[in-house]
Structure 1
C-alpha cells in the first residue's frame, strides 16, 4: 500500500510564491510507486487540494482529510514545504500534533522559537566556538525611540530585519544613520512578522549555508556547505531568487579544520534547539579572525532544484528522491536511539 503524503504548501506571506516552487520540485522527486502525493494549498482564506480533473476540494480541518468523489482521503504524513507562516512558525505543527498526524519538520516549540531570530540567538549563544553579532531587539512599543536605541547600543553598519521574517523580506543594510529610520519602518511593516525588529552589527566575512538532517538510524548528517557570493549589498530577496545575482559554490572551499568546526557547531545547534527533519544553518566566517558567526536557522529550507539543500544533497552523493524519502521515513517511523 502506498504512503499517502499531504504535501503542504502556500502560506500567509510573500514567501508563498517560493513555497509553491519548492513543493513542485519535491512532488516531482517523490517516487510515485511508493507515495500517493496530494498537494495541499493553505492560504488565509482556504485550505484546498486541486484534483487531476482540476476540481478544487476543501480540506476538512477536523481531521485534515479530503472528500474526493465520495472517497475520504486521510494521510499518513504531512510533508511541510510552506515557508513562513503558518508552516514555519509552529502553527501547523501544533494543529498536526492535536489531530495526531506525523510531519517532516521540527515540532511546534522549536519552529516557533527558531522563527524568532533574537530568542534563537539567546538559546544558542554559549555553544563552544559559536559567536553571535551584537544586537538590539525592538518591539512595537519601542518604535518612537527605536533609532535612538540602536545608535546607543550598536556601531555602524547595521543589518535591520524583521525578527520573525524569512527570505530576507523587509531586511536592509544601513551604512549611514540617515537611512536608519526608513530601514526600521520597512522592517516593522513587513507583513505577518509580528512587529518586532532585530538590528545587528554587521559582520564582515565569507557567508555560508549548510544543511543538516537526522536519518532513520538516528544519526545526524551534516551536508556539504555552500558559499554564497552576491553582487548585492547582502543576500537579500532578489539575490536569493533572481538568476545571475549570486554565485553559489557547493561544496564550499573550506579547510578540513573549518569543515570539522562548522559541522560540530551545526550539530550542537541542531541538538540544542531540539530540531527534527532537515534544517539549514546560515553563518559567516569573519574576515581575519575566522570566527563562526551565526546568522539564522531555517527549519523549512527552500527546495527548488537550485536551492541550497538540493545542491548539498547532490554534493553529498545522494539523490533528492532518496533524501525526501528518508525525511518521510523518519517522520512516520518509531523514534530511533538518537546519536549526536
Structure 2
C-alpha cells in the first residue's frame, strides 16, 4: 500500500477536494428543498450531521483522476450522497437505532413513518438529478446499484440472529449492502470520461474492495470503538442480532465456551451478554483477524488502480483504502 512517496494523509485529501466538496455541499442543500416543511426539516437534520462524505469523494476523485472537465461529477457526487442518506434513514428504522454520528437518529426524533417517507423522497430526488445528466450509462449504473443495495438490506434482515452464517455469507451481505454504492461511485468517474472498459472495470473493482474494507472496519469498531469517535454505542450490532465478521470468527475459531456465549447473545439479541462477548472477541483474536481481512480488501482496491495515470487525484484514490482501515471512528 506504499504510494512510492510519503504517505498521503486524510488532510491532503480534504485539501485537494476542498473546493469540489464545497460545491457538492451547496448542491446537496439546494437540491434538498421541498415545499413540504417536514421533508425539509428531516432532510436538513440528516445532512447537517455531516459524516465522512467518502462516497462523494470517490466520485470526484475517480473523474478528476481521468482528467474530467465539467460539472456533472459534482451532481453525481450529490446523487450518491442522497442515495447513501436514504439507506441510512431506512436502516435506522429497520434496526430501531437511536444514535448515529453522536446524535439521535431521525426515526428516534421524528418517528419511523416520517423517516421512511423522507428516505423515499431522497431516493426520488436522486433519480431526478441523475436523469438530468442525460446519460443512460449513468442511469443504469445507479439503478443497478440501488437495486442491489435493497437486496442487501433484505439479506441482512434474513440473517438477523443467524448463528450459522459463514464468512462468505457475511461478505456477500456487505458487498451488496455497502460496497455496491462505493463501486457505483468509482464507476461513475469512468463513465463521465468515456474511459476504456478496462479502466472502468478497474475503478469499479476498486470501489467494491474499498467499500468492503470500510464496512469490515466499521464492524470491528462496533466492538472496540469509542462512542465519541464512532457516534454509536459499542455493541449495537450485537443488540440487533447481526453476526458480523468478528463474531463469525469467534464462533468458528474460539473455544466452545466463547462460541456458545456469542451464539446465545446473537440468538437473543441480548446486550446484557456484551461483557462476555467482548471478552470472547478479545481473547480469540477476532478483531485482528477482521482487520487482516480488511487489509486484504484494501490491497485489492489499490491494485485495481494500476492503469490510472499518476496525479494527486490518483494518489488520493490509492490512499483512501489505507485511511479507511486505519480509522478509529
TM-score by length of 2: 0.30
Structure scoring higher RCO (CA < 8 A, sep ≥ 6) equals 2
In proportion to residue count, which structure has more helix? 2
